[in-house]
Each structure stands twice: as structure tokens, then as C-alpha cells.
Amino acid sequence: MHQIIGYTALSAVIIRLFWAIFSKGHASFKELDLTRQKFNQHFKHIKHRSIPADSGHNPVGWLMVLFTWTLFVGLAVTGFMMEEIDIFFGNSVLESIHSIFSNALYGIIIVHILAVLVVGWWGKISLVGAMITGKREM
């Protein structure tokens, strides 16, 4: 069951990466902008409690997305190596790395949920609905 969930999660991440590469709109890499100016703009919006309703991921959100994808891929690769490559079976270093990735993923999931709730409330914007439907109420 563990392997099936791992391969399913990796497949979802790969599909989402292709979506980000080839789509247009807020879920696209075309919207990815991690410049200092964008971070400052986002923090200004937070400070003034006025997050634009027509925006997609903010720079902090994009960092969370990229980190989450990296952890999922890292989990899949280390899990695959431990299970399918005989020389790595039972390797304690690889198991530790896999465990660290797993714990980090749990941590950022908690941070993500809290950030969505707090920023949504503080910024007076419905982020949960937008995450489900892909569209924000204006």
C-alpha cells in the first residue's frame, strides 16, 4: 500500500508539473516570479490586509509549491531506491533521508494549512474555495 500511495503521489506531481509548464493562468510557471519586488509587494498587501482577488500564488506560496514538489520527488526517489535497487535495501542513510523528507512534508503541510487559513482571514479573501475550484470570488 505504501508503494502504491508513493507512486500515485509522484504521478500527481508529474501531472501537475506538466500542467504548470503547458497551461496558462495562475497555475502556470509563467506566473512564477520570485523577485524581491514581488515579495515586497506581497508583504505590503499582507500589511494592508488587501490581497488582490485576481492574483494567483504569491511568492511565498510558490516557494511552498516548489518545496512540496521537491519533497514528493525526493520521497519517491529514495523510496524507489530502497525498495527496487538491491544495493540500497536496508541502507540506514537512505532510510534516514526518506524519513527526513517525510517529516518535512508533514511539517510544510501543517504550515500550508495554517497559512491558507490565516492569510485568507487576514487578507479578507477566500483562498480555500480558490484552491478547490481554481477560481477566486471577486
The secondary structure element, H or E, covering residue 51 is none
- Give 60's contacts (C-beta < 8 A, 6+ positions apart): 39, 42, 115
Which pLDDT score is estimated for 136? 64
Calpha distance 138→126 (Å, rounded): 9
Which pLDDT score is estimated for 74? 95
Which pLDDT score is estimated for 88? 84
Calpha distance 114→22 (Å, rounded): 30
pTM of the complete model: 0.81
Average model confidence (pLDDT) across the chain? 87
pLDDT at 134 over 70: no
Region class of 17: left (phi > 0), else alpha (psi between -120 and 50), else beta: alpha
% the chain with pLDDT above 70? 93
